[in-house]
Chain A
Amino acid sequence: MEQLILNLKNEIIEVLNLVDVTPEDIDNDAPLFGEGLALDSIDALELIVLMEKNYGIKLKDPAAGKEIFKSISVMADYIAKNRTK
């Protein structure tokens, strides 16, 4: 799980172009939206694309993203349980 979390953080930094942010700066349990990284709705779309492209997870219900993208830990847990690649 630790390796998955690290990979996920690196992927998010790359995909969202988080200049000057390192994996260590991202708290595993901090909210990704609103507070923490302060991501927005366009970032949510980027994360949906990331999940499908890198882990083969297709989110059929966009509303589910709200729960899945709660924090890095929640996201990693969801990926570990549902990934197809």
Chain B
Amino acid sequence: MNNRIYITGTSQISIQEPLCEQWMDSPISYDVKYTRAIDPNFKEFVSPIEARRMGLLLKRAVATSYTVMKESGISQPDAIITGTGLGCIENTELFLNALCFEGENMLKPTYFMQSTHNTIGSLLAIRTKSHGYNVTYAHKGISFDSALYDAYLQMRLNKISNALVGSHDEMTPSYFKLLQKVGYVGGDMEGVCGEVSMAAMLENDSSKALCTLHSMRVLYRPSLQKLEKAVEQVLQEAGITMDDVDGVITGINGNRKNDEEYSRYTEELFPVTAKLRYKHLFGECYSSSSLAFYSAVQCLRHERIPLGMVYGNVQLKDRKPEYLLIFNQQEEKNFSIILLGKQI
């Protein structure tokens, strides 16, 4: 379990400018509760003939994945591991609506083909001719973390030497309405619901490394003691203490219940470490935790943390960031702790 894991490429399509890091200097701000992602020109990645049978989410996944494959120089990854909370929900809705309103006899085959969660990973495998390990995790807000953990374990065990890990989710108007009905968004919630497509390349080879994935844990309904122990272990594996960590990236999103949960845990676990947020920039959806990972990689790569990410009373250290810890939790059930470092 001694293989080191490096990140050699990350890319995003979200409600910020796509496939670039413009958000670090001039982020787009929203005063609406719901918006769709800003799409790049897909013609650079997909021919019109191919595009006609691809939903928006598939095109986004191809664009982000091919961007990181180009950046890392890996055209056929050993593994393609995907996280998605809702899969290709837009096509699923079209298929189910047709089923409800027109019966079973006149269903369009294309919508049906695209209405499964693992369509994304399959498409990437077909296009890259990668016949290796290909798994999709559909675990709501912990989908990306689960996919990353799979890649992390397999690389540590020397089963694979690189992995294309991604997380992709759409937010359709009808799903947004459902979230509003259950009070998760809307009302007095600050912040926006968005869409995410994020891809990252993980490698054992350090020659093109942007930063290092030192350690991580995924936990289900842990006690506070177990969380403390997990944080301790993650830091120990990197040979550092909490004093060395420049910031903890959390998933506060303007929802009162969610933010109170984060506040409770972070005050207990990381009382004297600067807190960083990212969902005010990228919005909320089941794949948004992948953008915590993406943001951490970019902050370490560019050796700076945008001040707009900092919240709370603890100031940033007066230095270039060296270690960032991502703390993600969903309704106090699923937790993940991910430690990234500049040190190669």
Contact with B along A35-49 (1 / 0, CB 8 A): 000100010011001
A-B contact count, CB below 8 Å? 30
Cβ of A20 within 8 Å of any chain B Cβ, yes or no, is yes
User: Nearest Cβ in chain B — how far from A41, in angstroms?
Assistant: 9
User: By the criterion CB–CB under 8 Å, are B108 and A18 in contact?
Assistant: no
Residues of B within 8 A of A21 (CB): 48
Residue of B nearest to A52 (CB): B106
User: By the criterion CB–CB under 8 Å, are B53 and A17 in contact?
Assistant: yes
Residues of B within 8 A of A49 (CB): 106-109
Contact with A along B82-122 (1 / 0, CB 8 A): 00000000000000000000100111111001000000000
Residues of A within 8 A of B53 (CB): 17, 42
Cβ of A16 within 8 Å of any chain B Cβ, yes or no, is yes
Contact with B along A41-82 (1 / 0, CB 8 A): 010011001001100000000000000000000000000000
Residues of chain B from 137 to 183 with CB closer than 8 A to chain A in the complex: none
Residues of A within 8 A of B1 (CB): none
Residues of A within 8 A of B108 (CB): 15, 46, 49
Cβ of A19 within 8 Å of any chain B Cβ, yes or no, is yes
User: Nearest Cβ in chain A — how far from B158, in angstroms?
Assistant: 40
Assuming A16-B52, A19-B48, A19-B52, is B109 touching A46 (CB within 8 A)? yes
User: By the criterion CB–CB under 8 Å, are A42 and B110 in contact?
Assistant: yes
Cβ of B51 within 8 Å of any chain A Cβ, yes or no, is yes
Residue with the highest number of chain B CB atoms closer than 10 Å, among A21, A45, A49, A52: A49
Alpha-carbon separation in the docked complex, A52 to B110 (Å): 17
Chain B residues within CB distance 8 Å of chain A:
48-49, 51-53, 102, 105-110, 113
